[in-house]
Structure 1
Amino acid sequence: MKSFKFSFYASLLLIVLLSFSTSSTRSCVSAFTLPLLMADVSSTQTQTSSDSEASVRYLYDPAERQAHYNNDADIAQYLVDLHDHQATFDFCGGMMFQLELTPALRDHLVHVAAINSASSGSGSSGSSNSGTCSEQPVVFDAGKPRMFMTDNYQQTSNADNLGVFHGREIRQVPTAAGGMGMVLQLSLATGTGTQDSTSTNTNTNADTNADKEGWTSAELARYDGWGHDSGREWRKGNQLEEEGFTNFRQKYGPNAFSLHHRFFLHYDRANRIWLSAEDGCEGTPAPSQKPSLSNLFGLL
């Protein structure tokens, strides 16, 4: 009887050990195969992303950009293409902002690009070319990396859609490209629009602003973008809507908030183009790095 009991318990213990061993083996297999499976998925995603980025390398690579845009003769079209491809700018060494043009500014730049295309096609050196030169956005040389170094600089809220643009950095935007919830919006400065493409008037009356998403009267009146961000007025969605940007939260999300800046474009010595705020913070076009599934699961 004792022998039977011993055999029974020994058999039971053996079954438990075998079960534990099998379970452990499954766990070990899962622990090793999951990263491999995830790596395969990540590799596929990276390849797809790389293929997509390769087709628009002219947005990010200086040499290809110059070749694509006729030695940077059509910066208006370049800005439109950056917007249309939801291109990202690398600000401050890793903060990825999606560049977005307001509909009014995009329409204005499309109009300018069309003039440029017509002028190039005609080969004329008449009024069309002079109109193109006056309308194309300016990219300042590498010797002017800060706005205060440009000619005729003044601490003001004025912009002309040529050398200086109105814009906003917008945070906590859930749909923003780049994965960081950040958008850099450029808008049409007041007193201009495609209805009067030759105007560079910087009228600060918001009623004449052709851009419904442009700076509000309050933003124009209280602009101090040459100062440090910490001392400036950040606006939440409800405030912007009360001031006149009526669909701000609908467009950017309920928690989005913003800080308005004046921006300008300049080259660096590597021929990259930088979009620089008046306070000196700046970014250059760069492909966004999408996190892989393996990183999301903490496996790498």
Structure 2
Amino acid sequence: MKQAAAHLKQAFWGEQVLLQATFTDAAHQTTKRRAGHSVLPAMRAELRQLWQETGCVLQTFVERAGERGYLVTQGDKPGVWLIENAEGYHLALHRVLRLRRQDLEELMDEQDRPMTATLPRRWSGRGETLPPLPETSAYQTSMKKLADVIRPPWKRSDCRAELLARPYLHEVHKLESQTGEEKLAALLAALIMRFLAILFGVRVEIPPLTAQAARQRIEEKTRELAQARQEAVRAHFEMDGVQAALKQRRLLRSCLVSQNLAVRQAMQAEQLELAMTLLGKQKQTTPERGANKREM
């Protein structure tokens, strides 16, 4: 369609338009991977090595990756997280870390613990290990309510200055494509605004007159807005109610894979509060038993 539009412009208005590439960007990336010129394999290897160096602790991994120019963002599909470098290349985080999506979601709740200590035991098919319980309607309703409490006011993509600046870049393009008459009219308008401010004390914000000034103003405003949103998200997760909701969600997920028969019966009867109480008591007594064994 782009090539057809270029030919039409050339036929009707005589515009010399360069022909577009025949292959799409996805096709070019595929060709690069096959030819061994893609940056994704090296990027994947670097991230996996960093994952091992950080002891499989997600919080440490994200911080170390951020120091190297990587950014973890939430993908368009639910449950998918992406890791992106400074050039815009991105990979699925769960594939880089060789995890399932569900495992990565659980690590997101407890980012300060190692992977092996955070993820619950999975059903291995052995006779002595019970499989996870199915999710009941009460369980799904409770998880949805907790998700509404945990969800921050802004998404990760809403806290990035470069993404916030994109809708305003068309104003920069307008300034770059201004004619001489339009530039002169803008200068006269700015001069009149300054006279009004000097003579009558009228406060009028003068718009940027050049593309460079527009870029600087957009960068400053979006940086301030992104920082304010990041602070709002950080304050949100520090709230007692949100921390309690995170703890309750972890406890509910643990109830589904619990091997305690009383907990499983309570979950099947949709008595979630009773199941969490029983599991909480079990977790409190387990360390005490381990301490008694060490003393003996």
Band the TM-score falls in, shorter-chain normalisation: under 0.3
State the structure with bigger RCO (CA 8 A, min sep 6), 1 or 2.
Answer: 1
TM-score, normalised to structure 2, is 0.24
TM-score, normalised to structure 1, is 0.24
Q: If each structure's strand is expressed as a fraction of its own residues, which one has the higher value?
A: 1
